[in-house]
Structure 1
Amino acid sequence: MDGGWSITLISVAMFVGCFLLGFIPLLFRLSERSLHFISILGAGFLCGTALAITIPEGVGLMQESWTHQNASLSVVNETSRAPSPQMWIGVTLTFGFIFMFVVDQLASYFSMCGKTNPNSDAITATLGLVIHAAADGFALGAVVATGQVTVQVIVFLAVILHKAPAAFGLVAFLMHAGLEKKFIQGHLLAFSAAAPIVAIATYFILHATCSSFQKQLSATGIGMLFSGGTFLFVATVHVLPDIISSNGRVRADHPSGQRQPQSHLGWKESVTLVLGVGLPVLLALGLHDD
């Protein structure tokens, strides 16, 4: 299938799926424990996707670009050699990680500044999640540019699994803040549309700005590595600590009726996390591109 059609269909599916998933808290009441396990599974899937898919794939594309560049240079000058891509690999991963750190800190800062105004809190929460979703869209757009179906499927699943609890949490927060249903739907619409719009824009920008095959490989590799850095931050610094810190609240059914703080996950949560991390690896082994 043509890449343009692929990114369009994937983006539409992502938008519809995220919007419908976000409606679930408005229609049904999910238990805190169910949402807790969905969040753990999503965090694990993000980690596994970054470690087993996006980072190795990005490194491979950078190495392939380097090989093509050296082959081109050797035709002109046999002693010419392009600089190694190793430095750029580390820089891009780190930049993706730092970018999400800055976004997270800014969202927290503005949330503190507007904590006396429920509407400000709602806008800040939505804005933070929209920026997170935009980073997911960038990852998906870069992935589709590779033309590899396996990687597209795995990253799409990672994004959806990550966005599902985020959509649940956003709607639940807005309901708790007392926003009317029509305003909640507007916030959910913005969150759902962010990743698809950025995914489509990323794909077409990569194709429009990369005049040669070597440049396309390099740009796509950088996009994959940047996405790997953002995935690692979201999963390991943002989501997992929140899950562990909230583990005591989930265990509020203790006989004493008091919350029991936990500094670690229980065995069920740990198995769920390991399952989430391992699924991308199994999918990568089971799905092969021709």
Structure 2
Amino acid sequence: MLALIAATAILGAASFACGMLPLSLTLSKSYMNRLTLVGTGLLLGTALGVIIPEGIEVLVEASPHSEIPSTRIALSLLIGFAFMLLVEQYSSHSGHYHHGYELPRAENSHARADAGSSAIVDFDAELDELESEQGISQDERTTRKVQARRSVDGDSPSSPGNLSQAIPLTLGLIIHSIADGVALGVSFASEGGAATGLSIIVFLAIIIHKLPTSLALMTSLLATSLPRSDCKKHLVAFSISTPLSTIATYTSIVFFGGEGNMTWTGTALLLSGGSFLYVATSVSQDGGPHGDDVSKPLRLSFIVFGMFIPFGLSSLFGHGHN
């Protein structure tokens, strides 16, 4: 349980700290593009190469003298995937939202910046297409980005228009973060709350994915001309969503007695694997950020490299059931 608390605390603190960087630092477009691409590969590799195989293994071990429960495996994956699809569609009105972000740069410790001191950073963090589908014109989005640079000098009163754009952006990422937390909570429950192979791999994949996503969220919130104080509130909500859903998932499994039930644990792993797979595929559908400094072969190389990291870590740490 201590390992679970430590992992969730690190996730929350790292997400918030990384999201605050656009207010005070100049960030490298090239570096963040590459980190996002590796994170995309990590999500795919963790879903396909770790969580789902682990869930299948647990179910097979739970019924050694019967046929492989292929029906349970298939339904668990489909339900987990479909649930995330439906929740996201009906809550954010957009199944996928991919685009680039303009990152405000600070010239000093007080986060002052002018209209020319910004760096364009492409994140595959699911936000720009959402703005477009909500009827926001390109001119309006450009105007809001200029206003966001000016707002770095100080807060301005929030308006219903600001909130109407900021809330869906934050909500969409919170939904994905909850799916991350469910996967992490189930991985800890399958190992009795200990930080061993599966939970460590899932934790690493999630945190590497969340860091650039936090940056993208803060940048997009600034682009809505939302006051910095309100931007921080949205960032806090995003940062705590994964830790809270992790703890809630773990305690629910323990409370209902699923921690020692291998059939229940295997089903939960596959349900979370299906939802995690949805997050991974929705994030990677365009192949990651498309910055001019990252060619298509290089983008694919980073994604494929990230995909095999979870498998390598799984081989290194082994399985909690062996």
Pair in the same fold by TM > 0.5? yes
Q: Structure 2 residue aligned with 1:235, among 277, 280, 287?
A: 280
Whole-angstrom distance in 1 between the partners of 2:279 and 2:310: 17
- Deviations along 1:206-231, one digit per CA (max 9) or x if unpaired, are 11102783xx2222212211222122
One-letter amino acid of the structure 2 residue matched with residue 168 of structure 1: L
Whole-angstrom distance in 1 between the partners of 2:75 and 2:32: 35
Whole-angstrom distance in 1 between the partners of 2:28 and 2:287: 15
- CA contact 1:36–1:243 (8 Å) conserved in 2: no
Distance 1:18 1:211, change over 3 A: closer
Query: Which residue of the partner structure matches residue 9 of structure 1?
Result: 6
Q: Does 1:100 align with 2:144?
A: no
- CA contact 1:48–1:276 (8 Å) conserved in 2: yes
Single out whichever of 29-38 and 85-94 deviates more from structure 2.
Answer: 29-38
Query: Which residue of the partner structure matches residue 182 of structure 2?
Result: 138
Query: Which residue of the partner structure matches residue 73 of structure 1?
Result: none
Query: Which residue of the partner structure matches residue 231 of structure 2?
Result: 184
Query: Which residue of the partner structure matches residue 18 of structure 1?
Result: 15
- Deviations along 1:108-145, one digit per CA (max 9) or x if unpaired, are 42754585933211101111111111111111110001
Compute the TM-score of the two structures, normalised by the length of structure 1. 0.81
Structure 1 residue runs of 4 or more that deviate by more than 6 Å after TM superposition: none
- CA contact 1:22–1:171 (8 Å) conserved in 2: yes
Query: Structure 1: where are the runs of 5+ without partners?
Result: 71-80, 254-261
Where does 1:109-128 land on structure 2 (aligned, <5 Å)? Answer: 109=93, 112=133, 117-128=161-172
Query: Which residue of the partner structure matches residue 172 of structure 1?
Result: 219
Query: Which residue of the partner structure matches residue 312 of structure 2?
Result: 282
Query: Which residue of the partner structure matches residue 259 of structure 1?
Result: none
Distance 1:202 1:266, change over 3 A: same
One-letter amino acid of the structure 1 residue matched with residue 185 of structure 2: G
The alpha carbon displacement at 1:64 in A equals 2.1
- Deviations along 1:10-69, one digit per CA (max 9) or x if unpaired, are 1111111111121122222324443322221111001111111100111111122223xx
Distance 1:64 1:230, change over 3 A: same
Q: Does 1:219 align with 2:264?
A: yes
The alpha carbon displacement at 1:191 in A equals 0.6
- CA contact 1:138–1:227 (8 Å) conserved in 2: yes
- Deviations along 1:235-260, one digit per CA (max 9) or x if unpaired, are 22x2122445x52xx22x8xxxxxxx
One-letter amino acid of the structure 1 residue matched with residue 298 of structure 2: K
- CA contact 2:77–2:270 (8 Å) conserved in 1: yes
Q: 2:74 aligns to what SS in structure 1?
A: helix
> CA RMSD for the aligned pairs?
2.4
Single out whichever of 106-115 and 200-209 deviates more from structure 2.
Answer: 106-115
- CA contact 1:97–1:230 (8 Å) conserved in 2: yes
One-letter amino acid of the structure 2 residue matched with residue 136 of structure 1: D
Compute the TM-score of the two structures, normalised by the length of structure 2. 0.73
Whole-angstrom distance in 1 between the partners of 2:272 and 2:263: 14
Q: Does 1:150 align with 2:197?
A: yes
The alpha carbon displacement at 1:284 in A equals 1.1
Q: Percent identity?
A: 33
Query: Which residue of the partner structure matches residue 35 of structure 2?
Result: 38
- CA contact 1:39–1:243 (8 Å) conserved in 2: no
- Deviations along 1:170-219, one digit per CA (max 9) or x if unpaired, are 00100111111111111111011111111111111111102783xx2222
